[in-house]
Chains A and B, each alone.
Chain A
Amino acid sequence: MATLARLQARSTFLVHQYYFRNSAVDVFRKKEYDAAVKIQSWFRGCQIRAYLRYLHRVATVIQKCWRGYLGRQHYQLIVKLEFCTMKMNLYNAMAVRIQKRWRGYRIRKYCFNYFYLKEYLKAVSETNDAIREALEEFAEMKEREEKKADLEREEKKRDYQARKMHYLLSTKQIPGIYNSPFRKDPDPWELRLQKAKPLISQRPKVKQKRDVNISNQLACTSARSLPQSEILPPIDRKQCQGPFRDITEVLEQRYKPLEPTLWMAEPINELKMAREELRKQEWMRNINDNMFLPFSSYHKNKKYIPLMHSSSKYGPNSYGSQHFRDENPKKWICDKKFKFHEDRNVCLTYSLLYPHCLEQHLAKERKKERKKERKKEKKKERKKERKKSE
């Protein structure tokens, strides 16, 4: 029983211990449970993390490869692009160089050539100088001509005056005005007077001054174009002496129109002219100019064509019948007219061809001989007469 008591005393303690131990276990259970959970979670976490790490690594590798691939592609694109751009830039730069040169060349050669302009301006100024010289020469020439003309006019005037004053020339006895004995040498007028030809004291033909005349008022100064009528005397002149006819009568008489007699009024060949007139009028009215032939001559329609030989204007040609020398004198062998040889044999052929010409020719010869004989006789007679007269 003691043990029981002890057990009973310890029972509450046991109960408490049992409870306490159970609860203590529970307390620890939670802690241990929590600890186990923690350990497990931690371990699981590690596992997962390892797995994740692994996954990450793998994913990285994949992504790395893929990104490398993409990047390389991209890089190639960029390189291509860059390359193209570089090429284009190069081409552009070269094109700019070419265009620069070409534009410069084109403007300089075709649009505006500075050197050409310079040359042109130089040419212009040279032309200007040439023109200026030429014009000055021209002006000088004109001046010289004018001066010459003036001098000539002066000379003419002086000459004319000298001719008018010719009577002032000094003679052997009396020295003239210009040759005063007190002078050393005579005045130049004296020499001029000596040279001049004296003027004939007729009305000089040099100038005709028509003072109060119609020609002065009208424009044309041609000498032939105006009436040379006498002017009436001016009103306030003193009256001329003598009985004069009435002026109106005189003018009437002077300007009386012609009143010819009937005999004179008609022309002398009036009849002939009237006939001609009539003929002209008839001719005007003719429709057909051919003469109207009567029917009896209707068959005579052949027109007679005369020989040219006889119908030419100058008659038959003497060449071939009268003379045989060529018409053109240049073709002649000698200048003189040759005579026919006296020997008849030469003329025989000629006579056979043209008998009538031979006769004419011989007749001419005989005439010539007779003339010569007559001349000789006359000469002899003259000589005799001279001898007689001497």
Chain B
Amino acid sequence: MHSFTKDQSPWIPNGKEGVMSLLRPLLLDVVPTIQQTAALALGRLANYNGDLAEAVVKGDILPQLVYSLAEQNRFYKKAAAFVLRAVGKHSPQLAQAIVDCGALDTLVICLEDFDPGVKEAAAWALGYIARHNAELSQAVVDAGAVPLLVLCIQEPEIALKRIAASALSDISKHSPELAQTVVDVGAIAHLAQMILNPDSKLKRQVLSALSQIAKHSVDLAEMVVEAEIFPVVLTCLKDKDDYVKKNASTLIREIAKHTPELSQLIVNTGGVAAVTDCIGSCKGNIRLPGIMMLGYVAAHSENLAMAVIVSKAVPQLSVCLSEEPEDHIKAAAAWALGQIGRHTPEHARAVAVTNTLPVLLSLYMSTESSEDLQTKSKKAIKSILQKCTYLPALEPFLYDAPPNILKHVVGQFSKVLPYDSKARRLFVTSGGLKKVQEIKAGPGSLLQEYINSINSCYPEEIVRYYSPGYSDALLQRVDSYQPLAN
């Protein structure tokens, strides 16, 4: 009977109340195997669907489970912890219900059990409960789970390590105080040691835990760095598993974004090159943290931005910008390029040389791009243009740009042309002067001033030659000309 329910449970999600009322007395059965399989059946039901999990809670089964968790053997404990996990994973209210019936203390007691399976099930349940919000995490921490989780991490079983690392990650992600609690127990040293483990799922969880810790404040990030993760973390960027790469670049990003000194540290260990290669080797959302990391490093100071340029990151970013189909990744790449190019003319030149500015412009102008993408590309273009003195890259802008960007472009020309004769010549021969004459600007506006300053660099005849309608004027003169009668 119980095996029947257990086998069929994934396929009968309806009739919840009936099932619950059937399963509940089985939990109190004399035979231990029946109890265990009943608990397992409950767990699978709750796992399948949130409504069923709610039915489990409403059916008052949880207090019974919690009570018997403390007393029964390890198989039952595993099954009961599985039920708690399955119920707690769907929503914060259900997790709160689990906390309210006092399950946390018993789960923490299970964490001290000898059997690794029991520990794993308990840690998994705690992790799922703590995942939802900060109050639940705080409740888990108050129950004293964190030191035991750190002990679990040191156990030899890989599955237990994984689950404990993921639970620590879920606890520390909500607030700095929780992360500090996790750090105070000495979790960082153990997590840092496990980066070298060959199992990729374990590495995912460990890197995710470290990045959740490091993201909150400078002190926490410094503590993570002090655990000597660099340059070992860079080997994780070369891992076969995509999510390991993603989590490793997330970790590096969280560390780099706090202060220039931390970014400097990362640059000095060659992190920028590793991240650039990592970006080149993957696609889609996996790239996103790496792109953001480059942006953060470049944003701190111009020397760091120069270091980013020297590591050949700009061509990679422009490839991302043009290749990626998703808007948020493009927006991130545009932002990163803007941060790199905004410092000095050298930086702007490095960005402009790779022909990214027309791509940025097209993204800004296209109606399909999201608002976020448009604002970011506009900011990037503006900040790069204000420093850009590389005229071959600016010339296409004269033709395509909308007026608010055009004014910056023309402004740049007006700054460069008075001092550079070769540039002037090139400007004329490439048709730029002609285009500038064609621009209509309101008198007295900034644009008109720039146009005037450009025109003042050239002799009048040339300016008149290129002004629109000059050929008509000349022809009119030809018509009205009376040749001298001989």
List the interface of chain A (C-beta within 8 A of B): 117, 120-121, 124-125, 127-132, 135-136, 138-139, 142, 212, 214, 217-222, 225-227, 229, 231-232, 235, 251, 255
Asked whether A214 lies within 8 Å of B273 as measured between CB atoms, the reply is no
Interface string of B223-250 (1 = CB under 8 A from A): 0000000010011011010000000000
Asked whether A217 lies within 8 Å of B40 as measured between CB atoms, the reply is yes
Asked whether B117 lies within 8 Å of A219 as measured between CB atoms, the reply is yes
Asked whether B79 lies within 8 Å of A218 as measured between CB atoms, the reply is yes
Q: How far is the CA of A298 from the CA of B44 in the complex (A)?
A: 77
17 A-B pairs (CB sep. < 8 Å): A120-B303, A127-B270, A127-B273, A131-B234, A132-B274, A135-B235, A135-B238, A138-B238, A139-B238, A218-B78, A218-B82, A220-B117, A220-B159, A225-B74, A229-B33, A251-B31, A255-B31
Give the A-B contact count at a CB cut-off of 8 A: 105
Q: How far is the CA of A19 from the CA of B159 in the complex (A)?
A: 172
Asked whether A124 lies within 8 Å of B238 as measured between CB atoms, the reply is no
Asked whether B82 lies within 8 Å of A219 as measured between CB atoms, the reply is yes
Contacts of A127 in B (CB 8 A): 268-270, 273
Chain B nearest Cβ from A90, distance in angstroms: 35
Identify the 10 closest CB pairs spanning chains A and B, nearest first. Answer: A220-B117, A128-B273, A131-B270, A127-B270, A225-B117, A139-B238, A135-B238, A124-B307, A121-B310, A125-B310
Q: How far is the CA of A222 from the CA of B115 in the complex (A)?
A: 10
Task: Say if the beta carbon of B277 comes within 8 Å of chain A.
Answer: yes
Contacts of B74 in A (CB 8 A): 225
List 6 other contacts, CB 8 Å, given A135-B238, A217-B44.
Answer: A128-B273, A135-B235, A217-B82, A219-B120, A220-B117, A255-B31
Asked whether A125 lies within 8 Å of B116 as measured between CB atoms, the reply is no
8 Å CB contacts to A: which residues of B1-60? 3-4, 6-7, 30-31, 33, 36-37, 40, 43-44
Task: Say if the beta carbon of B153 comes within 8 Å of chain A.
Answer: no
Task: Say if the beta carbon of B311 comes within 8 Å of chain A.
Answer: yes
Asked whether A128 lies within 8 Å of B270 as measured between CB atoms, the reply is yes
Asked whether A214 lies within 8 Å of B157 as measured between CB atoms, the reply is no
Task: Say if the beta carbon of B191 comes within 8 Å of chain A.
Answer: no
Task: Say if the beta carbon of B466 comes within 8 Å of chain A.
Answer: no
Q: How far is the CA of A127 from the CA of B124 in the complex (A)?
A: 41
Chain A nearest Cβ from B335, distance in angstroms: 23
Contacts of B303 in A (CB 8 A): 117, 120
Q: How far is the CA of A132 from the CA of B277 in the complex (A)?
A: 8
* Nearest-CB residue, chain B, relative to A139: B238
Chain A nearest Cβ from B241, distance in angstroms: 11
Task: Say if the beta carbon of B152 comes within 8 Å of chain A.
Answer: no
* Nearest-CB residue, chain A, relative to B82: A218
Contacts of A139 in B (CB 8 A): 238
8 Å CB contacts to A: which residues of B157-187? 157, 159, 163
Asked whether A218 lies within 8 Å of B121 as measured between CB atoms, the reply is yes
Asked whether A226 lies within 8 Å of B75 as measured between CB atoms, the reply is yes
Task: Give the total of B residues in contact with A, Cβ under 8 Å.
Answer: 47
Q: How far is the CA of A342 from the CA of B124 in the complex (A)?
A: 85
Task: Say if the beta carbon of B306 comes within 8 Å of chain A.
Answer: yes
> Are A214 and B75 also in contact (CB < 8 A) when A219-B121, A222-B116 are?
yes
Chain B nearest Cβ from A235, distance in angstroms: 7
Q: How far is the CA of A342 from the CA of B286 in the complex (A)?
A: 96
Contacts of A130 in B (CB 8 A): 270
8 Å CB contacts to A: which residues of B243-272? 267-272
Q: How far is the CA of A362 from the CA of B157 in the complex (A)?
A: 69
Q: How far is the CA of A120 from the CA of B159 in the complex (A)?
A: 44
Q: How far is the CA of A251 from the CA of B37 in the complex (A)?
A: 16
8 Å CB contacts to A: which residues of B83-137? 115-118, 120-121, 124
Contacts of A121 in B (CB 8 A): 306-307, 310
Asked whether A135 lies within 8 Å of B78 as measured between CB atoms, the reply is no
* Nearest-CB residue, chain B, relative to A146: B240
Asked whether B267 lies within 8 Å of A124 as measured between CB atoms, the reply is yes
Contacts of B3 in A (CB 8 A): 212, 231-232
> Are A135 and B116 also in contact (CB < 8 A) when A129-B273, A229-B33 are?
no
* Nearest-CB residue, chain B, relative to A112: B303
Chain A nearest Cβ from B75, distance in angstroms: 6
Chain A nearest Cβ from B29, distance in angstroms: 11
> Are A220 and B121 also in contact (CB < 8 A) when A117-B303, A128-B311 are?
yes
Contacts of B124 in A (CB 8 A): 219
Contacts of A225 in B (CB 8 A): 74-75, 78, 115-117
Chain A nearest Cβ from B452, distance in angstroms: 36
Contacts of B157 in A (CB 8 A): 222
Chain B nearest Cβ from A173, distance in angstroms: 52
* Nearest-CB residue, chain A, relative to B124: A219
* Nearest-CB residue, chain A, relative to B306: A121
* Nearest-CB residue, chain B, relative to A128: B273
Contacts of B159 in A (CB 8 A): 219-221
Q: How far is the CA of A217 from the CA of B78 in the complex (A)?
A: 11
Contacts of A218 in B (CB 8 A): 40, 78-79, 82, 117, 121
Contacts of B121 in A (CB 8 A): 218-220
Q: How far is the CA of A358 from the CA of B277 in the complex (A)?
A: 92
Partner of A222 from the list B31, B117, B238, B267 (CB cut-off 8 Å) is: B117
Identify which of A135, A226, A227 gathers the most chain B CB atoms within 10 Å of its CB.
A135
* Nearest-CB residue, chain A, relative to B73: A227
Contacts of A142 in B (CB 8 A): 238, 240
Contacts of A222 in B (CB 8 A): 116-117, 157
Chain A nearest Cβ from B36, distance in angstroms: 7
Contacts of B37 in A (CB 8 A): 214
Contacts of A212 in B (CB 8 A): 3, 7
Contacts of A221 in B (CB 8 A): 159
Q: How far is the CA of A235 from the CA of B234 in the complex (A)?
A: 56
* Nearest-CB residue, chain B, relative to A132: B273
Asked whether B117 lies within 8 Å of A124 as measured between CB atoms, the reply is no
Asked whether B274 lies within 8 Å of A214 as measured between CB atoms, the reply is no
Chain A nearest Cβ from B279, distance in angstroms: 13
Partner of B268 from the list A124, A231, A235 (CB cut-off 8 Å) is: A124
Q: How far is the CA of A354 from the CA of B162 in the complex (A)?
A: 76
Q: How far is the CA of A63 from the CA of B40 in the complex (A)?
A: 131
Chain A nearest Cβ from B20, distance in angstroms: 19
Q: How far is the CA of A139 from the CA of B244 in the complex (A)?
A: 14
Asked whether B75 lies within 8 Å of A131 as measured between CB atoms, the reply is no
* Nearest-CB residue, chain A, relative to B271: A131
Chain A nearest Cβ from B206, distance in angstroms: 18
Chain B nearest Cβ from A216, distance in angstroms: 10
Contacts of B33 in A (CB 8 A): 227, 229
Contacts of B231 in A (CB 8 A): 131
* Nearest-CB residue, chain A, relative to B37: A214
Q: How far is the CA of A139 from the CA of B280 in the complex (A)?
A: 15
Partner of A220 from the list B4, B6, B120, B273 (CB cut-off 8 Å) is: B120
Asked whether A227 lies within 8 Å of B75 as measured between CB atoms, the reply is yes
Asked whether B116 lies within 8 Å of A220 as measured between CB atoms, the reply is yes
* Nearest-CB residue, chain A, relative to B2: A232
Chain A nearest Cβ from B300, distance in angstroms: 15
Chain B nearest Cβ from A339, distance in angstroms: 60
Identify which of A117, A120, A125, A128 gathers the most chain B CB atoms within 10 Å of its CB.
A128
Partner of B274 from the list A135, A220, A232, A255 (CB cut-off 8 Å) is: A135
Asked whether A214 lies within 8 Å of B272 as measured between CB atoms, the reply is no
Contacts of A219 in B (CB 8 A): 78, 82, 117, 120-121, 124, 159, 163
